[in-house]
């Protein structure tokens, strides 16, 4: 019998005691056990309760916290206690009733044997139970061994009931740097036909976890490719085999480069302590930044070129749409991807930096974030040296000096200034303000006083 220690918050103690007092046996299930076995600090705690019906369980939990019975029909209760929200569930039987992720009949069964309940879980690393009273681990399917070997392996035949599990495999492989088991890859291939049964929001939920949590995102992408699922993402599929100039890309084709850039982006996000959404955007931009190459690549003798590949916004948007990406996130990703070559040939122009900051600002993005993508792009070309290229270092330094690295330049000339000059609100005021902002970006003035002087000279009739 194996024992491990799963560090649980003190708030769980009264919950576990209440369940035991009511006659149930609580186990910590799934992700918390996996994370502890990997040496990570668990963030979410799910409790699976045996020997107690859902009504009796709800009464016991109500004594220690606030119970939300949102999944009561499926034997799932949510308990709010001490700032935590904990899923407390009964073991359940599931039977396939229709194709797809939602095609199940679910029946809670508190008398179900733990091994039978665990057999319904997706991967062996998620199919373990831990007894908080004794420290005992129930590992019926070899999850601890798979963690040691860094293998992602499906738990059993029930894996084939739910196509969403393939995308869950994408994010688990990326998050924990796992190599997919050959039988799991084969079974995943058979689920491809059910892809269209997945709702866009569920697709993006798994992709967003891949982007926001992966330590080695390339591992998830390799699993997806091996499983044949890239055919559902043709913008990615076309990267495989797309050539690059060996002088600048000795690492290989565009797919190989993209895998490396995604890994670099994850490391940069960790180094800079990015918030979840910023990390998500950076990883998706790393995934998208070279999607335009297959359509623009041409071979001229021993040279390979892809002119204009950063401008194929429609291709970036197409993949993000397939991923179910919300418009706000897609806007940021497209802005970064479109400008990932903006540092090329930089010669110290303040005008260039101000206009780039404005262009990124239209996508709710910044030069600081663009620098991270460019650093990842530069680092995804081994054995060439990585780091931030000199041109981007110079651009970033100038942007910081101009206070435009983290935001677009604020408008110096405002409507109230023109009103003071006697310009009435209306279309003409809008024209003057727009022209003034363009002039400001070009460096025509750098203060309100000089802006007013510029207006007097440029629009003397006013």
Q: Domain with 49 in it: what CATH number?
A: 3.30.460.10
Nearby residues of 395 by Cβ (< 8 Å), 6 or more positions away: 342, 343, 346, 352, 353, 356, 367, 371
Q: Given pLDDT bands bounded at 50, 70 and 90, which one contains residue 367?
A: very high
Please count the other Cβ atoms lying within 10 Å of the Cβ belonging to residue 405. Answer: 20
Q: Given pLDDT bands bounded at 50, 70 and 90, which one contains residue 73?
A: low
The answer as to whether 425 is a domain residue is yes
Residue 197 pLDDT more than 60? yes
Residue 409 pLDDT more than 90? no
Identify whether residues 392 and 419 lie together within a single domain.
no
Q: Given pLDDT bands bounded at 50, 70 and 90, which one contains residue 72?
A: low
The answer as to whether 285 is a domain residue is yes
Nearby residues of 73 by Cβ (< 8 Å), 6 or more positions away: 106
How far apart, in whole angstroms, are the C-alpha atoms of residue 412 and residue 101? Answer: 54
How far apart, in whole angstroms, are the C-alpha atoms of residue 255 and residue 245? Answer: 14
The answer as to whether 93 is a domain residue is yes
Distance in angstroms between the alpha carbons of the first and the last residue of the chain: 87
Please count the other Cβ atoms lying within 10 Å of the Cβ belonging to residue 35. Answer: 18
Identify whether residues 370 and 402 lie together within a single domain.
yes
Exposed/middle/buried for 30, CB within 10 Å: 0-12, 13-18, 19+? buried
Whether the CB-CB separation of 139 and 119 falls below 8 Å is answered with no
Domain count, the chain: 3
Last residue of a domain, one of 102, 124, 149: 149
Identify whether residues 73 and 127 lie together within a single domain.
yes
The answer as to whether 194 is a domain residue is no
Identify whether residues 391 and 277 lie together within a single domain.
yes
Mean pLDDT (the chain, rounded): 92
Identify whether residues 420 and 403 lie together within a single domain.
no
If you average pLDDT over residues 220-231, what whole number do you get? Answer: 97
The answer as to whether 171 is a domain residue is no
Residue 325: predicted pLDDT: 97
pLDDT, tens only, 243-270: 999 999 999 999 999 999 999 999 999 9
The pTM score is 0.88
How far apart, in whole angstroms, are the C-alpha atoms of residue 32 and residue 34? Answer: 5
Identify whether residues 396 and 422 lie together within a single domain.
no
Exposed/middle/buried for 73, CB within 10 Å: 0-12, 13-18, 19+? exposed
Identify whether residues 271 and 403 lie together within a single domain.
yes
Last residue of a domain, one of 97, 114, 149: 149
Q: Which residues pair with 250 in a beta bridge?
A: none
Identify whether residues 406 and 420 lie together within a single domain.
no
Residue 70 pLDDT more than 80? no
The answer as to whether 324 is a domain residue is yes
Identify whether residues 81 and 48 lie together within a single domain.
yes
Structure tokens at 99: 């194709």
Q: Which of 27-31, 69-73, 349-353 is predicted with the least confidence, judged by mean pLDDT?
A: 69-73
User: Containing domain of residue 392, as a range?
Assistant: 262-410
Identify whether residues 356 and 454 lie together within a single domain.
no
Q: Which stretches within 214-348 are classed as H helix?
A: 217-226, 234-237, 254-272, 276-288, 293-296, 313-322, 327-338
Last residue of a domain, one of 376, 392, 410: 410
pLDDT, tens only, 114-134: 999 999 999 999 999 999 988
Hey, is 95 helix, strand or coil? Answer: strand
State what percent of residues in the chain have pLDDT above 70. 96
The answer as to whether 197 is a domain residue is no
Identify whether residues 369 and 437 lie together within a single domain.
no
Identify whether residues 50 and 65 lie together within a single domain.
yes
Residue 114: predicted pLDDT: 94
SS (H, E, C) 98-166: CCCCCCEEEEECCCCCHHHHHCCCCEHHHCCEECCCCCEEECCCCHHHHHHHCEECECCHHHHHCCHHH
pLDDT, tens only, 302-337: 899 999 999 999 999 999 999 999 999 999 999 999
The answer as to whether 241 is a domain residue is no
């Amino acid at each position: 019998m194996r024992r491990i220690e799963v560090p649980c918050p003190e708030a769980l103690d009264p919950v576990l005691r209440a369940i035991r007092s009511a006659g149930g046996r609580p186990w910590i299930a799934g992700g918390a056990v996996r994370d502890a076995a990997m040496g990570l600090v668990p963030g979410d705690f799910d409790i699976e309760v045996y020997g107690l019906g859902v009504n009796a369980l709800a009464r016991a939990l109500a004594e220690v916290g606030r119970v939300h019975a949102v999944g009561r029909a499926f034997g799932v209760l949510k308990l709010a206690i001490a700032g935590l929200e904990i899923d407390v569930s009964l073991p359940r039987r599931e039977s396939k009733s229709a194709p797809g992720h939602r095609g199940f009949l679910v029946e809670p069964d508190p008398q179900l044997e733990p091994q039978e309940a665990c057999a319904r879980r997706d991967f062996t690393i998620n199919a373990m139970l831990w007894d908080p009273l004794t420290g005992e681990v129930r590992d019926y399917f070899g999850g601890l061994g798979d963690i040691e070997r860094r293998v992602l392996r499906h738990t059993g035949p029930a894996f084939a009931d739910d196509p969403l599990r393939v995308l869950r495999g994408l994010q688990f492989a990326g998050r924990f740097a796992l190599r997919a088991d050959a039988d799991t890859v084969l079974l995943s291939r058979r689920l491809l036909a059910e892809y269209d049964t997945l709702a866009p929001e569920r697709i993006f939920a798994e992709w967003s976890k891949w982007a926001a949590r992966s330590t080695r995102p390339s591992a998830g992408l390799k699993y997806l490719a091996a499983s044949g699922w890239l055919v559902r993402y043709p913008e990615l599929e076309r990267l495989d085999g797309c050539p690059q100039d060996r002088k600048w890309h000795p690492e290989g084709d565009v797919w190989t480069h993209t895998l490396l850039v995604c890994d670099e982006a994850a490391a940069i996000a960790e180094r800079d302590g990015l918030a979840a959404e910023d990390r998500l955007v950076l990883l998706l931009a790393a995934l998208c930044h070279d999607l335009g190459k297959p359509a623009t690549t041409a071979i001229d003798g021993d040279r390979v070129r892809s002119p204009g590949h950063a401008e194929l916004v429609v291709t970036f948007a197409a993949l993000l749409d397939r991923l179910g990406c919300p418009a706000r996130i897609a806007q940021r990703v497209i802005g970064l991807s479109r400008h990932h070559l903006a540092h090329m040939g930089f010669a110290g122009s303040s005008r260039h930096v101000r206009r780039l900051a404005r262009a990124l600002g239209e996508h709710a993005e910044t030069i600081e974030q663009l620098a991270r993508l460019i650093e990842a792009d530069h680092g995804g070309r081994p054995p060439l040296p990585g780091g931030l290229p000199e041109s981007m270092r110079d651009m970033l330094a100038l942007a910081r000096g101009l206070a435009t690295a983290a935001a677009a330049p604020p408008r110096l000339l405002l409507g109230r200034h023109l009103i003071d000059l006697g310009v009435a609100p209306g279309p003409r005021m809008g024209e003057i303000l727009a022209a003034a902002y363009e002039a400001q970006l070009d460096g025509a003035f750098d203060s309100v006083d000089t802006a007013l002087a510029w207006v007097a000279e440029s629009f003397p009739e006013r």
